[in-house]
């Protein structure tokens, strides 16, 4: 190997890229998929061959940060066999995109750079077809010879030239014109050292084809910017880290970290085009949250490649509550027009798991209340106004207009809060207890509150009906019906408001005026028992079966008897 290399060295920095112009685009500025500095950098060529199946390695230094090239060792190729460059010697250099019109005239041949780009992308991977060679990868000498032929000022130079090289050249001449690197392709960056004694400046280009991308998601959302998704305070947050080798080379020791969560994963080998996904979990807190994911991978040559991606969420509390109302219309547990809210009643929030009291609030002037809560399980309890009871629970089909508390306990069931939504459906109805009972007693179908009542022949059947009605607005239980003469008539387990029930008792008539009093006693949900009484009468007689005792007014009966007596006396006088 000679101490000096005959060439104009073209150093192609090979990059996987995310968004570039299409292959049909032949305008230089539109086919530059990498960002490169305009500053002068330092270049040093190493000895032949290179370390990555290439012609030689190139060392870059003094590269400003923030570009797609950086300080380090890159894989290089050569384009001119006529000009010498000294290995291990530093050169100050300009940097150009391979088809940038601002390159020096001797280097600015767009069509030839199209073809070189095509060769690097088509054959650098060893992707030529079975006509070319039985090997699975193009030899670096075959590729280098083709590059010299396409870019050299001496097209007849035959260094490293083989029939395989001619195959590559023919392919590039047919298919390479207008080629522009696409996603995951190699992009060429030209380096122009200018500290030389030759009249024509030398060109170098180096090859680095490594890139990596990380996309981070919060609860499935690519939340790069604030505020990100709303997450319920105390709920689980899941972060997803999608790592993709978007470059040309395989990457090793790919480390994924998070600035808040620490180490996420290490990927021993991530092949070109391959992706892997990882997840991490945490518990959401209140307020704006941001964390940043970073991936760093090691390519076969050149410096490590990295990428970062932020993600965000906002932790918020949920709101639960609603309305306490006076169920005055019909006490049916359904909110109806005209039924007012109740102000100033204590409402309590409890932890469902251990019954610990978490918070107390008061209903406002319209009867509304609410609690701000993190994720968890709760129940709500209401104070009860004196003389009131809670309305029936879960009546009707509209959950927003029913009463949600157990009337016996004054509390809701378990409230499982797992979303950030407002859940203002936890209502409670109550109403003042106004109990009442009525008993109506009849004798042989007659409401005989006053004497004499019906006339009933001695030893004939007497039937008493006891009609008991709940005249109040609450249920009555254990209703006991008694008679001061007959004793216990019966017990009614339950009478709902407005409901009636009839009990019957019978006996045989006795002589003379008869009177008895029935009494009904009922038990309301709260307060003293309610009671009512009703009298009934009959008159027992021993007349002939055909004698019909009038049941008219007693004075009328006495008058008729007197008249009969007078008529009898007149008959005797005659």
In contact, 264 and 347? CB cutoff 8 Å: no
Mean pLDDT, range 248-276, rounded to an integer: 93
Mean pLDDT, range 354-367, rounded to an integer: 96
Instruction: With H, G, I as helix, E, B as strand and everything else as coil, classify residue 574.
Output: coil
- Rounded CA-CA distance 120/137 in Å is 13
* Closest CA relative to residue 151, chosen from 117, 102, 100: 117
Torsion sign across C-alpha atoms 328, 333, 336, 339: positive
Q: Are strands 422-423 and 388-390 parallel, antiparallel or unpaired?
A: unpaired
Asked if domains 318-432 and 437-555 share a fold, the reply is yes
Q: Kindly report the CATH class assigned to 437-555.
A: mainly beta
Q: Output the DSSP codes for 92-142.
A: EEEEEETT-TTS-GGG--HHHHHHHHHHHHHHTTT---TTT-SSSS--HHH
Q: Are strands 461-470 and 437-443 parallel, antiparallel or unpaired?
A: antiparallel
Mean pLDDT, range 272-292, rounded to an integer: 94
- Rounded CA-CA distance 429/403 in Å is 5
**Per-residue pLDDT, 258:** 97
* Closest CA relative to residue 514, chosen from 447, 454, 439, 441: 454
Residue 566 has pLDDT above 80, yes or no: no
Higher pLDDT, 29 or 292: 292
Torsion sign across C-alpha atoms 400, 403, 406, 412: positive
Q: Please give the CATH number for the structural domain made up of 318-432.
A: 2.60.40.10
Higher pLDDT, 83 or 297: 297
For 84-98, 329-343, 480-494, which range has the lowest pLDDT when averaged over its residues? 84-98
Mean pLDDT, range 76-86, rounded to an integer: 77
Count CA atoms closer than 13 A to 25's CA, side-chain side. Answer: 14
Q: 74 forms bridges with which residues in the sheet? A: 58
Mean pLDDT, range 271-294, rounded to an integer: 94
Model-level pTM?
0.57
**Per-residue pLDDT, 39:** 85
For 178-192, 329-343, 453-467, 480-494, which range has the lowest pLDDT when averaged over its residues? 178-192
**Per-residue pLDDT, 313:** 95
- Rounded CA-CA distance 21/116 in Å is 17
In contact, 526 and 475? CB cutoff 8 Å: no
Instruction: With H, G, I as helix, E, B as strand and everything else as coil, classify residue 306.
Output: strand
The residues spanned by each domain of the chain are 5-207, 213-316, 318-432, 437-555
**Per-residue pLDDT, 21:** 32
What does pLDDT average to over the chain? Answer: 83
Residue 101 has pLDDT above 90, yes or no: no
For 68-72, 154-158, 218-222, 230-234, which range has the lowest pLDDT when averaged over its residues? 154-158
Residue 364 has pLDDT above 80, yes or no: yes
Instruction: With H, G, I as helix, E, B as strand and everything else as coil, classify residue 238.
Output: strand
**Per-residue pLDDT, 135:** 46
Which CATH architecture best describes the domain 213-316? Sandwich (2.60)
- Place 158 in a pLDDT band, splitting at 50, 70 and 90: confident
- Cα torsion 396, 400, 402, 408 to 10°: value is 130
């Amino acid at each position: 190997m000679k101490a000096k290399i005959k060439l104009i060295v073209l150093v192609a920095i090979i990059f996987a890229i995310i968004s570039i112009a299409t292959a049909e685009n032949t305008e230089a500025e539109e086919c530059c998929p990498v960002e490169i500095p305009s500053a002068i950098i330092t270049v040093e060529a190493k000895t032949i061959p290179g370390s990555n199946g290439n012609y030689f390695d190139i060392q870059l230094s003094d590269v400003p940060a923030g570009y797609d090239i950086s300080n380090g060792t890159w894989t290089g190729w050569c384009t001119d066999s006529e000009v010498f460059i000294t290995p291990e010697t530093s050169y100050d250099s300009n940097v150009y995109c391979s088809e940038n019109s601002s390159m020096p005239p001797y280097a600015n041949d767009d069509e030839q750079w199209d073809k070189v780009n095509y060769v690097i992308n088509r054959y650098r991977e060893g992707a030529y077809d079975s006509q070319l060679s039985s090997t699975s990868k193009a030899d670096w000498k075959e590729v280098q010879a083709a590059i010299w032929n396409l870019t050299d000022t001496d097209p007849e130079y035959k260094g490293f030239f083989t029939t395989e090289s001619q195959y590559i050249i023919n392919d590039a001449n047919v298919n390479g014109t207008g080629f522009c690197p696409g996603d995951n392709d190699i992009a060429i960056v030209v380096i122009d050292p200018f500290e030389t004694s030759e009249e024509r400046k030398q060109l170098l280009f180096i090859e680095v084809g490594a890139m990596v991308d990380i996309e981070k998601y919060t609860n499935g959302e690519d939340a790069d910017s604030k505020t990100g998704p709303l997450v319920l305070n105390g709920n689980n947050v899941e972060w997803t880290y999608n790592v993709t080798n978007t470059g040309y080379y395989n990457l090793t020791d790919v480390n994924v970290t998070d600035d808040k969560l620490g180490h996420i994963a290490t990927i021993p080998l991530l092949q070109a085009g391959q992706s892997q996904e990882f997840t991490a979990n945490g518990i959401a807190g209140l307020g704006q949250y941001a964390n940043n994911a970073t991936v760093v991978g090691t390519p076969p040559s050149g410096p490590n490649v990295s990428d970062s991606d932020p993600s965000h969420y906002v932790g918020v509390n949920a709101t639960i509550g609603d309305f306490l109302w006076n169920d005055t219309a019909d006490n049916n547990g359904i909110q109806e027009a005209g039924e007012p809210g109740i102000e100033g009643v204590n409402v309590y929030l409890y932890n469902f798991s251990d019954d610990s009291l978490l918070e107390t609030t008061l209903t406002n002037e319209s009867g509304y209340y609410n609690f701000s809560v993190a994720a968890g399980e709760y129940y709500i309890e209401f104070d009860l106004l004196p003389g009131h009871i809670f309305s029936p629970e879960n009546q009707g089909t509209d959950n927003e207009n029913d009463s949600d508390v157990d009337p016996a306990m004054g509390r809701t069931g378990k409230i499982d809060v797992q979303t950030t939504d407002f859940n203002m459906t936890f209502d409670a109805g109550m109403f003042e207890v106004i109990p009442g009972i009525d008993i109506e007693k009849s004798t042989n179908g007659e409401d005989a509150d006053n004497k004499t009542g019906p006339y009933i022949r001695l030893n004939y059947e007497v039937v008493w009906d006891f009609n008991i009605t709940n005249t109040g607005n609450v249920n009555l239980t254990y209703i006991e019906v008694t008679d001061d003469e007959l004793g216990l008539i019966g017990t009614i387990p339950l009478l709902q408001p407005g409901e009636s029930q009839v009990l019957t008792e019978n006996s045989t008539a006795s002589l003379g005026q008869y009177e008895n009093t029935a009494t009904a006693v009922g038990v309301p949900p709260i307060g003293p028992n309610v009671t009512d009484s009703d009298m009934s009468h009959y008159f027992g007689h021993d007349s002939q079966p055909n004698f019909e005792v009038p049941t008219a007014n007693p004075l009328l009966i006495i008058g008729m008897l007197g008249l009969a007596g007078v008529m009898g006396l007149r008959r005797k006088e005659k």
